[in-house]
A and B are shown apart, each in its own frame.
Chain A
Amino acid sequence: MTNSPVPATPDSNPASATTDADASFERIVEPRSENRLALEGGVWHQISPKYVTVQLISTGSFLVLVIAATLVLTLLMHQLWAWIPGGILTVILAWTLAILPRQARSIGYQLRDDDLVFRRGILWQRFVAVPYGRMQLIDITHGPLDRGFGIAQLKFVTAAAATGVVIPGLAQTTAETLRDHLVEVAESRRTGL
């Protein structure tokens, strides 16, 4: 039930005029178990594959930097202790890189009648439903690398800090259309705090 006079178009992608540049993933990656969290019905909108590229570049270059620093410290300066933090960081970063492509495919959002549902994670799944009227503001951020690839991150801020709905790697046009759509819908369902 909605108090908005505007006919709701729940699952139409606000950026319906998608071009090749705005292509997104096609299928949500989920855990195999029967007991996984899953919603019946609804269309999951997914993020751009460029997000993976951007993350690979930034995390990868950091990994290279860590390996280089460790090697310099241990081999040239004979600081043997550097193996320990260097090794730990290398393992963590390599693992992050390895799971990144699958993880990016698990991020999705649904635009339902009265709320936005956001999901992410495979091993640790997380589903959040935020009523549109709870929106305090929408943040769109993009770093230099994001701009190069034309993607942006959208953050839906409510009065509760724990909400944490952050959708990374949206094509910039999608992010802006989604923002305008959310602001418009929130305006028609405005509630108190």
Chain B
Amino acid sequence: MTSVPEPTNPVPGAAGGFSPERADPPAPGAPPPQLVRSPLSDGEWHRLHPLTPLLRGGLFLIVIIGIVFANLRDRLVFIFLPWLAPDIEEEVGEWEGAGGDPIDFIIANNLYVVAGLTVLAVLIVLVAVFYTSWRFHTFRITDDDVEVRSGILFRTQRRAPLDRVQGVNLTRPMVARLLGMAKLEVVGAGADANVKLEYLSTANAEAVRADILRLASGRRLAATAHPAGPRPSGRVAALSQTVGREITGLIEGPEAPVAELESVVHIPLGRLVASHVLSMSTLGLLFAIAAIVVGVSQGVTWLLFGFVPAIIGFGAYWVRSIVRSLRYAIAPTPDGVRITFGLFTTITEIVPPGRVHAVEVTQPILWRPAGWWTVRINRLTGRSAADGSTDQFTTTLPVGTAADVERVLRLLQPSLPDEERALVVREGMFGPAEGDTFTNTPKRAWWIRPLSYRRNGFRLTDDVLLMRRGVVWRKLVILPLARLQSFGLYQGPLDRASGVTNVRAHVVTGPVSPFLAAVDRDTALALFDDVAHGSVRAASADRTHRWAQDETDAAADVEEPPTVPAETGEERG
């Protein structure tokens, strides 16, 4: 049998696709559960969840209700709660005479039927428009790509090739979460290149995500046992059950699908708050307070007025960034790293292997006594640069100890050997250590990096280039050579006088900028050649665009060589 979910399956996580049995070897004969696609990804066109228009138009609806309510507040109070407003009657009397209000006009002229019909007509038109747009908004998942069609008058069609998928994220805003729905975003390579499926029921979204990742990985999926599942009977009952479950989940903490996988890092709330308090912006705030106190004591009292909004803004910023990092979890899955965060709006993102273009481990000096670090990555988020939410998708560890960093690195760079990872921590993060293996800035160029010249260096291995720099802000950049786009040397007149040069690796845009100043000139020229060869070699050996294809082929060769279904798109991959 299959683990295919019903659209409103009341069992949480049954469709997660990450259940332990996925690790089982494929049984001969019947297709194993991990290779069976859900009915939503059978290559046919499917519609989104019927409640989608409600959620997408939700804000609009709330605004309308708000306006109506604000305008009719007095009247509503008078109609429904007359005892609260005994003296409102005289005012109502005034309205009747004045005739300025459209509702008074209707009451005065006895136009109830016309008004009722108008409202009804508007409602019908709205419902019809929403219904049609829902009918026209369809998606399909084939072996090679994800496609979405939408629009009534202006049709749009968007297709994302699966071997270029940079990640799949599942966002569950508060309201949608209560209704058991989620929106799915397939991250493509390029600005504004994402394909969005909003909204699906959580179970379906999980199933679709698992399918997309499995198809993208190059594994072959068998057709589902029953293409059309039986329609669910009590939709309303199921919905109320969903709401109840979600509220429980909200109170009790992480919902079931997240709890399935043990996060390798746990951030205590205290550390999260303290890490925000111990930041440069706090120093700025203290400085501002000091300046204002001095100013006020000198008699410049108007400074106080600027102070209040600053405090409010600061508090809001803190709360927002702390809430965003709450319930952070990072866990390995067969199809990449799974990162979860957010308290009210939960975002779960799976980044397949080989989609990380640069990793940076940073420690500001204020965090040094506590031994905390943060990890950021460069990756293609498919968002425009102006989008403010990008940093959510690039911070993979908001705050953690060195051991946490090591565990996160294991997930982000699985190809890095263990001893190399230990070296990254010992020398790269804390270095320079005894018997340092990094190539550092030569002594004669100390004046270019007066504080950090002992630490400022690089190390090149077969697969990665490490760049270590900074004493006040300790930084370590890890660059997988297979993802390096190009490599540059830059030398100005002062560098030339000291016989050094600057080194910059070019990777996709992101918070990490892989740059190293004051590298010895001869070493840098040797590095230039080594990196050029290394990156070509690493890139041609790289198979991560179809990360599981090799292992599938191997498994197929071992177990059932002749019966491999040949029609499932292997040659098209």
Contacts and interface: CB of A to CB of B under 8 A. Distances in A.
Contacts of B525: 37-39
Contact of A124 (B482, B491, B533): B491
A188 B488 CA distance: 24
A191 B486 contact: no
A178 B65 CA distance: 63
Contacts of A129: 486-488, 528, 531-532
B431 interface: no
Contact of A114 (B483, B496, B508, B533): B533
Interface residues of A, number: 36
Nearest to A36: B496
B386 to A, nearest CB: 15
Interface stretch (B68-76, B463-471, B499-507): B499-507
B536 interface: yes
Nearest to B509: A161
Interface string B165-198: 0000000000000000000000001000000000
B521 A126 contact: no
B550 to A, nearest CB: 14
B539 A131 contact: yes
Interface in A128-158: 128-131, 133-134, 158
Nearest to A32: B496
Contacts of B491: 36-37, 124-126
A128 B496 contact: no
**Chain B, interface size: which category?**
35 or more
Interface in A12-28: none
A129 to B, nearest CB: 4
Contacts of B496: 31, 33, 35-36, 125
B492 interface: yes
B17 to A, nearest CB: 24
A117 B496 CA distance: 20
A163 B506 contact: yes
Interface string A1-16: 1110000000000000
A16 B491 CA distance: 32
Given A133-B540, A160-B507, A114 B532 contact: yes
B537 interface: yes
B489 interface: yes
Contacts of A37: 489, 491, 501, 521, 524-525
Interface in B497-530: 497-499, 501, 504, 506-509, 521, 524-525, 528
A192 interface: yes
A124 B492 contact: yes
Query: Which of A39, A126, A165, A193 lies at the interface centre, i.e. has the most chain B CB atoms within 10 A of its CB?
Result: A193
A133 B490 contact: no
Contacts of B354: 192
A99 interface: no
A38 B504 CA distance: 17
A165 B485 CA distance: 12
Contacts of A84: none
B549 to A, nearest CB: 13
A69 to B, nearest CB: 34
B493 interface: yes
A162 B544 CA distance: 24
A176 to B, nearest CB: 23
B217 interface: no
Contact of A162 (B492, B497, B504, B528): B504
Contacts of A189: 536, 540
16 contacts: A37-B489, A123-B493, A126-B488, A128-B486, A128-B489, A128-B506, A130-B486, A131-B536, A133-B536, A134-B485, A160-B485, A160-B507, A162-B504, A162-B507, A163-B506, A192-B544
